[in-house]
């Protein structure tokens, strides 16, 4: 990626800095790394606030974060890399690779689930975090991939398969553990652990130096915090918070340091903002050297047709949501913008029409994922980048 000097005028740059500093001053986030690329050039970068509030360790561009759902597009791209090589088909039933993974509908039937349905979260699976205590996911002891359970990937899928599907595959969008299931498929296809598969087909070809499933250098890892008044609280281990309509979200920050924790394809990786930007820019710019151009473009296209929207004005591609109606989404982003984030406090988007990619990694969930900070930053970027 090339650097263009003065790509954003000083007055405009200050609006992006202001959005970041305001969130820190208002004690909505503790620290952040923000990178903006325009037409292939890194035009803005900032490391602001603290990576560890208690020791006053400053945030740095090289700070490593728990990725949570930033893992999803990376693992999705790994799946598509194997599709490009003819080793997988998106129309394969998951049972071709995982013959014992046969979750049932409430009526007891076990419908076929395809890899495409797993990639697009139309498989009928769900997340435990959205379910009330006592639900089937809780009773089965399913892991959401970033909690404290030290079980194997195979065991988690065995538990997941005992819970009923929420819908017939292909008939509804529901955010889910589908990418964790695909992680197990990748292990079977490549006959090696998921971290090695991702490294072989995505991380190493792109030169992602710090993108892994466990932190090699704990001293570089940002301390995670969670929304609270008067300031975010340092996460415990585990750290459990209410979520949605009666659900609970449970974090285990130590998971990033524990090789015994199974490699979650939906939320288990760690890495830097720079690695994230490099990956997203590769997808925006045609996929080289990991994907064919048409395959990379497919990640940023709506793949769920007219199914109920994940969010107003959006569809869903491979690895993230896709803006189909900016007015309904209440965003200045162009139609076709691909975006998502992570519950440890991250957001990103790729606007292909504007050749614009923005990565904002914070150490504060969930403000950094879908709070005021994300919209303030987005708007400041669009005001600044011409």
In a domain? residue 263: no
Q: Please tell me the predicted confidence (pLDDT) of residue 150.
A: 84
In a domain? residue 255: no
Q: How many domains does the chain divide into? A: 2
Residues of the domain holding 184 = 74-202
Q: Please tell me the predicted confidence (pLDDT) of residue 2.
A: 44
The catalytic residues are 69
Whether residue 18 sits in one domain with residue 141: no
In the chain, what is the straight-line distance between the N-terminal and C-terminal CA atoms, in Å? 19
Instruction: Tell me: pLDDT of 355 over 50.
Output: yes
Q: Which residues pair with 321 in a beta bridge?
A: 316, 339
Residue-wise DSSP of 198-229: HIIIIIHHHT-TT-BSS-S-GGGBPPPEE--S
Whether residue 276 sits in one domain with residue 165: no
Q: How far is CA 190 from CA 1, 83, 267, 312, 374, in A?
A: 31, 12, 20, 38, 37
Mean pLDDT over residues 17-43, rounded?
Answer: 97
Q: What is the pLDDT of residues 47-79, one digit of tens each?
A: 999 999 999 999 999 999 999 999 999 999 999
- Exposed/middle/buried for 221, CB within 10 Å: 0-12, 13-18, 19+? buried
pTM flag (> 0.85): yes
Q: Which residues pair with 322 in a beta bridge?
A: 315, 338
Q: Which residues pair with 342 in a beta bridge?
A: 346
Whether residue 213 sits in one domain with residue 361: yes
CATH code at position 323? 3.40.710.10
């Amino acid at each position: 990626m090339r650097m263009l000097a003065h790509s954003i005028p000083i007055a405009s740059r200050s609006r992006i800095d202001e959005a970041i500093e305001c969130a820190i001053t208002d004690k909505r986030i503790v620290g952040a790394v923000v990178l903006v690329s325009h037409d292939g050039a890194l035009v803005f970068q900032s490391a602001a606030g603290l990576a560890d509030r208690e020791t006053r360790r400053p945030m740095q561009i090289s700070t490593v974060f728990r990725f949570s759902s930033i893992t999803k597009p990376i693992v999705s791209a790994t799946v598509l890399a194997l599709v490009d090589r003819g080793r997988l088909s998106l129309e394969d039933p998951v049972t071709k690779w995982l013959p014992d993974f046969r979750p049932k509908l409430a009526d007891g039937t076990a419908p076929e689930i395809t890899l495409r349905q797993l990639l697009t979260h139309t498989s009928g699976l769900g997340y435990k975090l959205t379910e009330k205590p006592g639900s089937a996911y809780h009773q089965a002891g399913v892991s959401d991939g970033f909690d404290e359970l030290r079980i194997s990937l195979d065991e988690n899928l065995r538990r997941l398969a005992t819970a009923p599907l929420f819908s017939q595959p292909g008939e509804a969008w529901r955010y889910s553990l589908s990418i964790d299931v695909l992680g197990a498929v990748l292990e079977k296809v490549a006959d090696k652990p998921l971290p090695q598969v991702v490294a072989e087909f995505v991380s190493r070809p792109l030169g992602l130096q710090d993108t892994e499933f466990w932190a090699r250098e704990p001293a570089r890892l940002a301390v995670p915090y969670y929304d609270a008044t008067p300031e975010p609280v340092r996460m415990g281990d585990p750290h459990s918070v209410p979520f949605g309509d009666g659900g609970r979200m449970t974090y285990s920050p130590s998971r990033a340091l524990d090789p015994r924790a199974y490699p979650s394809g939906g939320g288990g990786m760690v890495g830097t903002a720079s690695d994230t930007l490099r990956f997203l820019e590769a997808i925006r710019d045609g996929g080289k050297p990991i994907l064919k151009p048409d395959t990379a473009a497919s990640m940023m296209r709506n793949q769920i047709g007219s199914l109920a929207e994940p969010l107003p004005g959006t569809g869903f591609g491979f690895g993230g949501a896709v803006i189909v109606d900016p007015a309904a989404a209440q965003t200045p982003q162009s139609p076709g913008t691909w975006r998502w984030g992570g519950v440890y406090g991250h957001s990103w988007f790729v606007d292909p029409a504007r050749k614009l990619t923005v990565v904002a990694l914070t150490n504060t969930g969930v403000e950094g994922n879908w709070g005021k900070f994300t919209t303030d930053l987005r708007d400041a970027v669009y005001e600044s980048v011409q």
